[in-house]
Amino acid sequence: MIKKVGSLIFRGSSGSLVLFVLEIYAEDMGLKEYRAKRDFKKTIEPRRGGKGKQLFVVQKHYATHLHYDFRIEYKGVLLSWAVPKGPSRTAGVKRLAVQVEDHPLNYADFEGVIPKGNYGAGKVEIWDRGTYTASHLKAGLKKGHLAIELKGKKLKGTYDLIQLKGKPKMWLLIRRKS
Protein backbone atom coordinates (compact mmCIF):
# COMPACT_ATOMS: atom_id res chain seq x y z
CA MET A 1 0.00 0.00 0.00
CA ILE A 2 2.68 2.46 1.04
CA LYS A 3 4.78 1.55 -2.03
CA LYS A 4 1.81 2.22 -4.35
CA VAL A 5 1.22 5.64 -2.83
CA GLY A 6 4.94 6.35 -3.25
CA SER A 7 5.00 5.48 -6.94
CA LEU A 8 1.97 7.63 -7.64
CA ILE A 9 3.30 10.72 -5.94
CA PHE A 10 7.03 10.63 -6.62
CA ARG A 11 8.48 10.56 -10.10
CA GLY A 12 11.93 11.23 -11.51
CA SER A 13 15.34 10.55 -10.03
CA SER A 14 14.42 11.24 -6.42
CA GLY A 15 11.55 8.77 -6.73
CA SER A 16 13.66 5.67 -6.24
CA LEU A 17 15.27 7.06 -3.10
CA VAL A 18 11.87 7.93 -1.70
CA LEU A 19 10.62 4.43 -2.52
CA PHE A 20 13.65 2.91 -0.84
CA VAL A 21 12.93 4.87 2.33
CA LEU A 22 9.27 3.87 2.15
CA GLU A 23 10.26 0.20 1.77
CA ILE A 24 12.40 0.40 4.90
CA TYR A 25 9.51 2.06 6.69
CA ALA A 26 7.11 -0.68 5.53
CA GLU A 27 9.53 -3.36 6.76
CA ASP A 28 9.92 -1.52 10.03
CA MET A 29 6.18 -1.58 10.60
CA GLY A 30 6.03 -5.25 9.64
CA LEU A 31 8.64 -6.14 12.24
CA LYS A 32 7.31 -3.97 15.05
CA GLU A 33 6.33 -6.89 17.26
CA TYR A 34 9.59 -8.71 16.56
CA ARG A 35 11.61 -5.70 17.65
CA ALA A 36 9.45 -4.85 20.66
CA LYS A 37 10.33 -8.22 22.19
CA ARG A 38 14.09 -7.86 21.86
CA ASP A 39 16.89 -5.70 23.22
CA PHE A 40 19.37 -5.56 20.34
CA LYS A 41 22.14 -4.33 22.64
CA LYS A 42 21.93 -7.68 24.40
CA THR A 43 20.88 -10.24 21.81
CA ILE A 44 22.90 -11.22 18.77
CA GLU A 45 19.83 -11.75 16.55
CA PRO A 46 19.48 -9.52 13.44
CA ARG A 47 17.56 -6.30 13.83
CA ARG A 48 16.48 -5.90 10.23
CA GLY A 49 17.31 -6.53 6.62
CA GLY A 50 17.86 -9.34 4.17
CA LYS A 51 17.04 -10.05 0.56
CA GLY A 52 15.81 -13.38 -0.65
CA LYS A 53 14.01 -15.62 -3.05
CA GLN A 54 11.06 -17.50 -1.58
CA LEU A 55 13.18 -19.20 1.00
CA PHE A 56 12.15 -21.32 3.92
CA VAL A 57 14.11 -22.29 6.97
CA VAL A 58 13.56 -24.51 9.98
CA GLN A 59 15.56 -23.59 13.05
CA LYS A 60 15.97 -25.90 16.01
CA HIS A 61 15.58 -23.69 19.05
CA TYR A 62 16.76 -24.90 22.45
CA ALA A 63 14.63 -22.42 24.41
CA THR A 64 12.87 -23.20 27.71
CA HIS A 65 10.97 -25.74 25.64
CA LEU A 66 12.77 -27.23 22.67
CA HIS A 67 10.89 -26.47 19.46
CA TYR A 68 11.44 -25.97 15.76
CA ASP A 69 10.73 -22.62 14.11
CA PHE A 70 9.30 -23.01 10.63
CA ARG A 71 9.65 -19.83 8.57
CA ILE A 72 8.73 -18.92 5.01
CA GLU A 73 9.61 -15.76 3.14
CA TYR A 74 6.62 -13.62 2.30
CA LYS A 75 6.50 -9.95 1.32
CA GLY A 76 9.90 -9.06 2.74
CA VAL A 77 9.57 -10.85 6.07
CA LEU A 78 9.59 -14.42 7.35
CA LEU A 79 6.17 -15.71 8.38
CA SER A 80 6.92 -17.87 11.38
CA TRP A 81 5.45 -20.80 13.28
CA ALA A 82 6.82 -22.54 16.36
CA VAL A 83 6.43 -26.30 15.93
CA PRO A 84 6.98 -28.07 19.28
CA LYS A 85 7.66 -31.49 17.79
CA GLY A 86 9.10 -30.24 14.50
CA PRO A 87 7.81 -30.94 10.99
CA SER A 88 7.22 -34.63 10.28
CA ARG A 89 8.60 -36.22 7.15
CA THR A 90 5.88 -38.86 7.27
CA ALA A 91 2.75 -38.08 5.26
CA GLY A 92 -0.41 -37.54 7.28
CA VAL A 93 1.26 -36.89 10.64
CA LYS A 94 -0.20 -33.72 12.18
CA ARG A 95 2.13 -31.33 13.94
CA LEU A 96 0.90 -28.36 15.92
CA ALA A 97 2.36 -25.09 14.60
CA VAL A 98 1.80 -21.92 16.61
CA GLN A 99 2.10 -18.77 14.54
CA VAL A 100 4.49 -16.26 16.08
CA GLU A 101 5.58 -12.76 15.08
CA ASP A 102 7.09 -12.17 11.62
CA HIS A 103 10.88 -12.21 11.56
CA PRO A 104 13.35 -10.32 9.30
CA LEU A 105 14.62 -12.18 6.23
CA ASN A 106 18.13 -12.12 7.70
CA TYR A 107 16.89 -14.45 10.40
CA ALA A 108 17.08 -17.32 7.90
CA ASP A 109 20.89 -17.21 8.30
CA PHE A 110 20.83 -16.88 12.05
CA GLU A 111 22.53 -19.43 14.25
CA GLY A 112 23.93 -18.83 17.69
CA VAL A 113 23.07 -18.54 21.33
CA ILE A 114 20.51 -15.94 22.45
CA PRO A 115 21.92 -14.79 25.80
CA LYS A 116 20.23 -15.66 29.11
CA GLY A 117 17.54 -13.27 30.24
CA ASN A 118 16.55 -12.36 26.67
CA TYR A 119 13.43 -13.32 24.78
CA GLY A 120 13.85 -16.88 23.47
CA ALA A 121 17.17 -17.40 25.31
CA GLY A 122 19.01 -20.51 24.18
CA LYS A 123 20.78 -22.00 21.20
CA VAL A 124 19.39 -21.68 17.67
CA GLU A 125 20.65 -23.87 14.86
CA ILE A 126 19.54 -24.24 11.28
CA TRP A 127 17.89 -27.64 10.93
CA ASP A 128 16.87 -27.32 7.30
CA ARG A 129 16.72 -24.64 4.65
CA GLY A 130 15.77 -24.32 1.01
CA THR A 131 13.24 -22.72 -1.26
CA TYR A 132 9.51 -23.16 -1.57
CA THR A 133 6.72 -22.57 -4.01
CA ALA A 134 3.11 -21.89 -3.14
CA SER A 135 0.25 -20.70 -5.23
CA HIS A 136 -2.42 -18.39 -3.86
CA LEU A 137 -0.46 -17.69 -0.69
CA LYS A 138 -2.32 -14.47 0.05
CA ALA A 139 -5.72 -16.12 -0.32
CA GLY A 140 -4.47 -19.12 1.64
CA LEU A 141 -3.49 -16.94 4.58
CA LYS A 142 -6.94 -15.41 4.52
CA LYS A 143 -8.83 -18.69 4.47
CA GLY A 144 -6.38 -20.46 6.78
CA HIS A 145 -5.04 -23.11 4.44
CA LEU A 146 -1.62 -22.97 2.79
CA ALA A 147 -0.16 -25.61 0.50
CA ILE A 148 3.61 -25.19 0.37
CA GLU A 149 6.00 -27.22 -1.72
CA LEU A 150 9.34 -27.41 0.05
CA LYS A 151 12.67 -28.00 -1.59
CA GLY A 152 15.02 -28.42 1.34
CA LYS A 153 17.66 -30.95 2.28
CA LYS A 154 15.49 -32.72 4.84
CA LEU A 155 12.03 -31.50 3.96
CA LYS A 156 10.81 -32.17 0.45
CA GLY A 157 7.32 -32.28 -0.97
CA THR A 158 4.05 -30.54 -0.27
CA TYR A 159 3.05 -29.54 3.23
CA ASP A 160 -0.38 -28.29 4.22
CA LEU A 161 -0.67 -25.65 6.92
CA ILE A 162 -4.21 -25.60 8.22
CA GLN A 163 -5.50 -23.03 10.68
CA LEU A 164 -7.68 -24.34 13.48
CA LYS A 165 -11.19 -22.90 13.57
CA GLY A 166 -11.59 -20.09 16.08
CA LYS A 167 -7.89 -20.22 17.00
CA PRO A 168 -6.08 -17.81 14.65
CA LYS A 169 -2.57 -18.58 15.96
CA MET A 170 -2.97 -22.37 15.94
CA TRP A 171 -2.21 -24.29 12.79
CA LEU A 172 -1.46 -27.90 11.86
CA LEU A 173 1.51 -28.73 9.65
CA ILE A 174 1.01 -31.94 7.68
CA ARG A 175 3.03 -33.52 4.93
CA ARG A 176 0.91 -34.47 1.97
CA LYS A 177 1.18 -37.90 0.31
CA SER A 178 3.26 -37.48 -2.84
CA distance from start to end of the chain: 38
Using CB under 5 A as the criterion, what x/- string covers residues 108-127 for binding Mn ion?
--------------------
| Closer residue to Mn ion, CB minimum distance, 61 or 95 | 61
Q: Is 102 in the site for Mn ion (CB under 5 A)?
A: no
b/e per residue, 7-24, with b = 16+ CB within 10 A?
eeeeeeeeeeeeeeebee
Applying CB under 5 A, among 34, 56, 57, 69 the residue interacting with Mn ion is 69
Residue 50 falls in which region: left (phi positive, over 0), alpha (psi -120 to 50) or beta: left
Does 27 sit near Mn ion (CB under 5 A)?
Answer: no
CB 103, min distance to Mn ion, A: 9
Secondary structure (3-state) at 158: strand
Phi–psi pair at 71, nearest 5 degrees: -130, 140
* Residue type, position 26, single letter: A
Cβ 59 to Mn ion, closest distance in Å?
Answer: 7
Candidates 55, 61, 162, 174; binder of Mn ion (CB under 5 A) is 61
Name residue 100's beta-bridge partners.
80
The answer to whether 78 touches 108, Cβ cutoff 8 Å, is yes
Pattern 72-91, binding to Mn ion, x per CB under 5 A? --------------------
Q: Which is nearer to Mn ion, 34 or 159 (CB)?
A: 34
Stretch that binds Mn ion, among 40-48, 59-67, 70-78, 154-162 (CB under 5 A): 59-67
Task: Tell me the residue nearest to Mn ion as measured from the CB.
Answer: 61
Q: Minimal distance in Å, beta carbon 162 to Mn ion? A: 21
What φ, ψ does residue 44 adopt, rounded to 5°?
A: -100, 5
Residue 104 CB, nearest approach to Mn ion (Å): 14
Q: What is the three-class DSSP state of 72?
A: strand
Contacts to Mn ion by CB under 5 A = 61, 69
